Chains A and B, each alone.
Chain A
Amino acid sequence: MTNNEHETGQPERRTPARVIGTPLSDTPFSDTVASAVPDAGDEEHGVPAVPGVVPQEERKARRAERIAALCFTLAFAALVAFLLAYVRFQVGGLSATGASHVALGGTLTLALLALAAGIVIWVRQIMPKYELVQQRHPMASPEEVRAEVAATFVQGAGESGIVKRRLLRRTLLLAAAPLGLAPLVLLRDLDTSGVPAAQLHRRLGHTVWGEKTRDGTPLRLVVEGTGQPIRAADFNSPGGILSVVPQGYEHDLDVLAKATVILVKFRPEEIKSGTNRNWTHDGIVAYSKICTHVGCPAALYEQTTHHILCPCHQSTFDAADGARVVFGPAARPLPQLPIGVDDQGYLIALGDFPAPVGPSYWERGDAEARARENGDHS
């Protein structure tokens, strides 16, 4: 190949000098700027010829002024409409609130948008193009300044006596140490439970299911929401799942956060060895609804596979097999609640869960193994 083939006669302008995709610089650089002589319009406008400040063409600026003014007028109109909408549209029901919301928001958005657009046109098409240069200086102070500051520091330290007077210094430091502790100590009563700190974790291990009613009878299981007690014979649809809470605590959120239970009804042959049959009644099994991962209610149930699914992080438990973990981040099965019926045939709790419910905590230990050692699990 040779380099002297020029006969194609392409005009030079057809060859772009920019990398495709880079923005066109609309600001001429200093060489043009320096030579930029303001035209008649600019002199009349009083803009001096400063290097790096390129005035706009007056004809374009006038047109831009009209557009910006239109934007500002539009913003004015939208803001007036906003005020009118505030008075005109009242709130209350869904549709009324919706109308007020759209009217207020729409006019506000339009006003802000128009104002912004107007100012941008002002800056870009009326103000000059700037390519001003400012010098930077190193951030560090000059050496002599540093030296002077250092000398002053040493002088001040000497004058104060903090270095020489050891007793002063040491007692001051001594006093400062408990000063930092004081605010921390004050935070102790953030815990309003009134339980000694070493006993706090014991509260986590129990639920109200272990308690009795005032009459000394075991707590009944009632339907969450309606508060209806459940007659074992009525809960007879295998494959069903029911969210259940302790009677008398239907609105106590602290109790619900630990004691909410799901009931699942099985045909006897479906129940596997992981489930404690002694704690079931007529194929009805009760598990804690509080996921052992981070405590979301494990609220979803898949009938064909007997899987209980927590919708938060998808921990999956096998309800037919002691709610053992099938998949997901939960590490432990949902604890099973021992249930039976009272003399009227209503479902009752026969005791508390054998292990703490909900998310794990430091003092929990292997509570399941502990329960087995104690013989709770036959």
Chain B
Amino acid sequence: MSELRTVPERIAGPATFLDDRLGAGSFVRRNIRKIFPDHWSFLLGEIALYSFVILLLTGTFLTFWFKPSMGEIVYNGTYAPLKGVTMSEAYASSLKISFEVRGGLLIRQIHHWAALVFIGGMMAHALRVFFTGAYRKPRELNWLIGVVILSIALFEGLTGYSLPDDLLSGAGLRVTQGVVIGLPVVGTYLNFFLFGGEYPGGDVISRFYSIHILLLPGLILALVTAHLILMWVQKHTQFPGKGRTNRNVVGAPFYPAFMAKSGAFFLFTFAVIAGLGTFAQINPVWLYGPYSPADVSAGSQPDFYLAFLEGALRIMPAWEVNLFGTSQAGTIPLSVVIPALVPLGFIVVGMALYPFLERWLTGDHREHHLADRPRNNPHRTSIGMAVIAFYGVLWLFGGNDIISANFRISLYTTTWAGRILVFVGPALAYAITYRVCLGLQRSDAAVLAHGVESGVIKRLPNGGYVEVHSRPAKDIEAHLRGKEPVPVLSYDETVPPKGLRGPLGRLRLRMSRAYGGEKVPPVNGHPHDEDGQAALPEGQNRALTR
């Protein structure tokens, strides 16, 4: 086999052609060996990205046959059980894609699974970024872009699964309508504008279609592009470790290693989604029948990413106020408006504001390129876990009827459990996570102070036993030593500076002191080898390693 010594003519020719016209050479020189740090958690965002690509590909395929029309026809396709049934063209064309287009069912199922993986991937990616503090300066803007993409994707999913116009998708649409019309003051207008009249009207499918295939994917595509460009320009964060500082990036070059790895990961993602689309049935629309607002099937569930809204609707008590009594205005159905707006708004706005709130509390204006280990910022991690618990409880009780049926618990008991857990769960999650973080910090400190537990027990002449500790591997030690205390607001003068005066300023200072600081004192010495270890009094040793 011969090695390549010069650029082959077939590549050099076009490359010269392009460089003559674009001057791309200096860009390529700067970027072709761009370094990407390696960690499994950095791949979560890629899962979302590749799922989005799969969605664009499969979605385009589906548009070739799908008819976004609510016009009524009598079904005369190959699916026997529905022959002769009156249905919308949208539903009939969904059946046609499923039964009369080769590969149509496969692509439809891949499209649906890819949507779930897309949003699930984004959620996991967002959590990774949150827990490692990778949203900090200079990456706040990219974090905001990500929050917007995630929010848009929820609506993209909602408009998508309403399109087939089967009984299940219609139930989802009906719930959407019930929420829209319930919004204070504007609800009725929004309802008539969205549906072109009263529900369901004849327009909503074609409107959702253009929103689903053009408006929202266009927005997502633009934002994803911006997201990637910013990531590229700002370079990826990395975890602390040997040779890794806040001023460098350590890893593999874009060409050839990262490129090939990413290509492989795209194929893996596609393979998994294709496998799901092949072997795991999803949304068998032909079983549900055409939509009628007079019918519904029991156990109707939305896709997983909207289940937290569904859960909020289900556990909400029946509150409704009429501000002006019997006059024709002033009705606010709190049992609809609160679950529809508060959890989503709380999570999305909270995510968007968090980087800025944290900076306000810590006064930290430095650039951060080293990712935090979640344990090293225990309050942030606890807040994240509390929000996960809040979301998780709502999500779980989106299936309160399924829980009741499967575990034979009374539906009312289940619902009440949800009403209580939605408050207790986050509080518990906060407290437990905080303790776990401190425990993990102590265990890190113990490794740095005394070394790694080797599992080797030595017997001492006096009859006592000790465990031999050995010096940790250098990369592990460097990783642990990457811990930095969370900054705290402070002032040198006796009089607090302007931002820390008054009730808000004092609260800010107190919160800053609670949020930041070093919860577990750092270890200054170097880990001892086993000889040094045995010198410690037994009690202290135990306390540190627990």
A: which residues have CB within 8 A of B?
A: 1-6, 8, 10, 12, 14-20, 22, 25, 29-30, 45-46, 86, 89-94, 97, 100-102, 104-106, 108-109, 112-113, 115-117, 119-120, 122-123, 127, 130-136, 138-139, 187, 190-193, 195, 197, 200-201, 203-204, 224, 243, 245, 251, 253-254, 256-258, 260, 289-290, 293-297, 299-300, 311-315, 325, 327-332, 358-367, 369-370, 373
Contact = CB atoms under 8 A, between A and B. Distances in A.
Contact of B260 (A25, A127, A366): A127
B293 A257 contact: yes
A358 B336 CA distance: 13
A293 B189 CA distance: 19
Contact of B185 (A93, A119, A130, A362): A362
Contacts of B462: 1
A134 B34 contact: yes
A22 B444 CA distance: 12
A359 B333 contact: yes
B297 A311 contact: yes
Interface stretch (B127-135, B246-254, B353-361, B486-494): B246-254
Contacts of A289: 294
B534 A260 contact: no
Contact of B452 (A17, A363, A370): A17
A8 B457 CA distance: 9
Contact of B326 (A191, A245, A293, A365): A365
Nearest to B177: A295
B471 A134 contact: no
B317 A329 contact: yes
B283 interface: no
A227 to B, nearest CB: 12
Contacts of A45: 3
Contacts of B184: 362
Interface string B449-466: 000111110111110101
Given A16-B454, A18-B472, A245-B294, A294 B260 contact: no
B400 A314 contact: yes
Given A16-B454, A192-B196, A361-B331, 9 more contacts: A97-B99, A100-B102, A120-B268, A136-B246, A139-B367, A330-B318, A359-B182, A360-B336, A366-B322
A25 B474 CA distance: 10
Contact of A14 (B34, B456, B531): B456
Contacts, number: 374
A190 B265 CA distance: 44
Interface in B409-444: 411-412, 415
A22 B252 CA distance: 21
Nearest to B201: A254
B16 to A, nearest CB: 25
Contacts of B72: 251
B278 A86 contact: no
16 contacts: A3-B533, A17-B472, A89-B102, A93-B79, A112-B274, A133-B249, A190-B196, A193-B198, A224-B294, A254-B201, A257-B199, A293-B178, A311-B300, A362-B331, A365-B327, A366-B322
Contacts of B33: 132
Most buried by B among A108, A243, A367: A108
B3 A46 contact: yes
B212 interface: no
A369 B328 CA distance: 12
A193 B192 contact: yes
A344 to B, nearest CB: 25
Contacts of A256: 292-294
Given A133-B35, A331-B319, A94 B79 contact: yes
Nearest to B298: A311
B485 interface: no
B253 A86 contact: no
B102 A86 contact: yes
B320 A331 contact: yes
Task: Pick the 7 closest A-B CB pairs, nearest first.
Answer: A294-B178, A105-B278, A331-B320, A116-B267, A112-B271, A257-B293, A15-B454
A297 B295 contact: yes
A161 B105 CA distance: 63
A15 B178 contact: no
Given A131-B250, A362-B187, A365-B327, A116 B198 contact: no
A148 B310 CA distance: 55
Contacts of A364: 322, 328, 331
Given A16-B470, A119-B260, A201-B188, A313 B102 contact: no
A361 to B, nearest CB: 5
B532 A3 contact: yes
Contacts of B23: none
Contact of B197 (A104, A254, A313): A254
A294 B105 contact: no
B48 interface: no
B519 interface: no
A197 B325 CA distance: 22
B76 interface: no
A134 B138 CA distance: 18
A299 B295 contact: yes
Given A5-B534, A201-B328, A257-B293, A363 B105 contact: no
A106 B327 CA distance: 63
A106 B468 CA distance: 53
A221 to B, nearest CB: 13
Given A257-B199, A365-B329, A370-B326, A10 B458 contact: yes
Contacts of B313: 293-294, 313, 329
Most buried by B among A18, A19, A29, A294: A294
Contact of A133 (B248, B256, B328, B535): B248
Contact of B175 (A20, A29, A295, A362): A295
B90 to A, nearest CB: 13
Contact of B248 (A127, A135, A358, A367): A135
Nearest to B475: A25
B294 A260 contact: yes
A73 B187 CA distance: 59
Contact of A112 (B196, B270, B292, B456): B270
Contacts of A2: 460, 534-535
Contacts of B243: 29-30, 131, 133
B501 interface: no
Contact of B189 (A197, A258, A296): A197
Nearest to A290: B293
A366 B320 CA distance: 10
